[in-house]
Amino acid sequence: QVQLEESGGGSVQPGGSLRLSCKASEYNYRQYCMAWFRQSSGKEREGVASIYIGDGTTYITNPVAGRFTISQDNAKKTLYLNMDNLKPEDSAMYYCALGSYLPYECGPAIQTPGVDFGVWGQGIQVTVSS
């Protein structure tokens, strides 16, 4: 089974930037949806962004729209999340995930509470604090 490994987290001041990476052990999933989720202490997990591997269509949720960008590098088998203008409320454990969703499902799926994405990374911490 494919394995996902996140990297790039850490601590940053408000207004700063970070780029998260998620490397897949295999990447023959051109008809799959990959996504970033986050969960902070005491809160439910929430979707952040998704991308349909086959055509690169992306979806960004409202709390991070205009600040976060999701992208992929197929040659490197890697998913990215570029995060700019970070706010304290962005502090959370961030997870990448891989799911077998159709193109039109890839965006709505990350807004579904408790959605099952099949394959998850271990998570990586992002802390935004002055």
* 70-99 pLDDT tens trace: 999 988 889 999 999 999 999 999 999 999
pLDDT tens digit sequence for 8-50: 999 999 999 999 999 999 766 667 899 999 999 999 999 999 9
- 36: closest CA among 85, 103, 106? 106
* Rounded distance between C-alpha atoms, residue 1 and residue 4, angstroms: 10
pLDDT of residue 54: 84
What contacts 62, CB < 8 A, 6 or more positions away?
none
Least confident range from 61-70, 77-86, 99-108, 119-128: namely 99-108
| CA distances, 89 to each of 34, 78, 85, 86 (Å) | 23, 26, 11, 8
* Rounded distance between C-alpha atoms, residue 42 and residue 100, angstroms: 29
pLDDT of residue 30: 66
